[in-house]
Structure 1
Amino acid sequence: MTVAAYLARIRLNPYSKDVQRDLRYATEMHKTLMRLVPDNVGDTPRQDTGLLYRLDDNEHESVLLVQAAIPLTPHRLPSGYGTVDVKSLAPMFAALRKDLTVRYRITVSPVKRERLPLEQKNQRGKVIPLTGAQADQWWTRRASEAGLHLHSSTATSLRPASSRRNDTHPIKHQLIRYDGTATITDPQALTAAVLDGIGRGKSYGAGLLSLAPVSPRAE
């Protein structure tokens, strides 16, 4: 069965005021990127269209990867926002098979729910961000559930993603990027994880899992 999904690679224009605003406030970035999918798609448009994104920074440029389950419309981005290339992810999904070694990259927002005493059993504890070894353990567990057996994993702490300062209830998501290699143990679970995203903060640039096969020579 062919899996329909699309990926836009946006090389951001650092001189664009829209880009500068969106890099400061993840909620604004989310609003801009939702222009890439049609309006009026449902009550939960990000979830309904499968839109996920990740910001990859290096010393030369900032690149946005935007994934969705429906065709993307780059012409709806603000003028001068960046250079956009769009491709189908169907060939990548078709290549996924058990025991294939892949390189991966993902930005996640690892958290746990606070445990409350028994007298508060009907209440929900607050969400606590995870860092260090606890975050690494979280990612290893979630990767396993997603059909990946990790061989290596390098963590990079990123700047937290935040909403605007004047929001009534400002939100921050702690972000960690993981890079490494892994073996596919369950292609079906992995396909679902790539399409759905992993963890919380998907409107804040977390959850998009990128995969690329490792050549035999590289192994």
Structure 2
Amino acid sequence: MTYLSRIWLNPLRTGAQGLIRSPQKTHAAVLGGLAAQPVTERVLWRLETSQPHRAELLVLTETRPSWEHLVEQAGWPGSDQPQAMVRDYQPLLDRLQRGREFAFRLRANPVTATRTPTKPSARQKEHLAQERPRGVRVPHRTAAHQLTWLLDRVERWGFTLPTSQDTGPAARLTARERLTFTKSTAGATGANTSGRRVTLSTATFDGALRVTDPDQARHTLLHGVGPAKAYGCGLITLAPLTTAGG
């Protein structure tokens, strides 16, 4: 079984503010919702903060999760409104038929591999100094390069982008963000210690997708795309495609 969850977070609470600031804290909180520890299943998530009064955390898991800890620490635990919803993902997977179109959203970490980065970090320099090194990942920083990253890969994912003579491919870059946070590591005693700084360039895409390979499309939805999945990237969500006339 696979489950898609939606959890509402209260941005006025300290617990929610910590999750919004740190993808690593959100990742840890998400894994805390799964009973089998350590977590070995694929977990994808995305945190959306476009609404000022509440944030939306979407999580895709292979086993049924429990989100009471998130509601208690970062939501509205005393509210009579539902704070977390968990739904079976299989009905959506069953609707992935060749030629069918869906609205989509993806928050990704568009990167490319190179052996000649412009400003290599200390870790990259160490890697490139090895004999026959593989290229290091560097982010695409411009909107044009980020959109090209999507266009170059979408067919490998089992989809295509419907195109219009007037507007081109049915995808647009709706948000770009550069996140910097500290990745903590566990010390010898098990306690978290200060770790290295992580900088993450993300791009959010919205638009429409047409299914070309249903099996590959299902694999894409279940496993995500691109790097930085632990930090809230790679989850493609689909919804019914509506038109301007309703």
Q: Distance in 1 between matches of 2:131 and 2:153?
A: 26
Q: CA deviation at 1:125?
A: 2.9
Distance 1:90 1:195, change over 3 A: same
Partner of 1:73: 66
Partner of 1:88: 88
Q: CA deviation at 1:78?
A: 5.9
Contact 2:16/2:73 (<8 A) preserved: no
Q: Distance in 2 between matches of 1:216 and 1:128?
A: 37
Q: CA deviation at 1:39?
A: 4.0
Q: Which runs of 5+ in 1 are unaligned?
A: none
Q: Which of 49, 60, 66 in structure 2 is aligned with 1:57?
A: 49
Q: CA deviation at 1:191?
A: 0.4
Partner of 1:31: 28
Which structure: larger Rg? 2
Distance 1:68 1:107, change over 3 A: same
Alignment of 1:190 with 2:182, yes or no, is no
Q: Distance in 1 between matches of 2:67 and 2:183?
A: 28
Specify the code of the residue in structure 1 equivalent to 2:179. Answer: A
Contact 2:172/2:206 (<8 A) preserved: yes
Q: Which of 21, 34, 48 in structure 1 is aligned with 2:18?
A: 21
The 3-state SS of whatever aligns with 1:11 is: strand
Contact 2:5/2:59 (<8 A) preserved: yes
The within-5 A match list for 1:156-195 is 156-164=174-182, 167-195=194-222
Q: CA deviation at 1:218?
A: 6.3
Q: Which runs of 5+ in 2 are unaligned?
A: 76-82, 117-128, 163-169, 185-193
Distance 1:196 1:70, change over 3 A: same
Normalising by structure 2, report the TM-score.
0.77
RMSD in angstroms over aligned alpha carbons? 2.3
Contact 1:35/1:77 (<8 A) preserved: no
Normalising by structure 1, report the TM-score.
0.86
Q: Distance in 1 between matches of 2:241 and 2:46?
A: 22
The 3-state SS of whatever aligns with 1:183 is: strand
Specify the code of the residue in structure 2 equivalent to 1:161. Answer: L
- Count of residues paired in the alignment: 209
Q: Distance in 2 between matches of 1:67 and 1:40?
A: 17
Distance 1:49 1:162, change over 3 A: farther
Percent of aligned pairs sharing the same letter: 25
Distance 1:218 1:105, change over 3 A: farther
The 3-state SS of whatever aligns with 2:72 is: coil
Q: Distance in 2 between matches of 1:121 and 1:187?
A: 41
Contact 2:5/2:85 (<8 A) preserved: yes
Q: CA deviation at 1:62?
A: 1.6
The 3-state SS of whatever aligns with 1:163 is: strand
Partner of 2:139: 129
Q: CA deviation at 1:200?
A: 0.4
Q: Which runs of 4+ in 1 moved over 4 A?
A: 215-219
Cα distance per residue 1:114-170 (max 9 Å; x no partner): 135xx9771133311013222212111221111111121110333333332874321
The 3-state SS of whatever aligns with 1:73 is: coil
Contact 1:36/1:73 (<8 A) preserved: yes
Distance 1:162 1:203, change over 3 A: farther
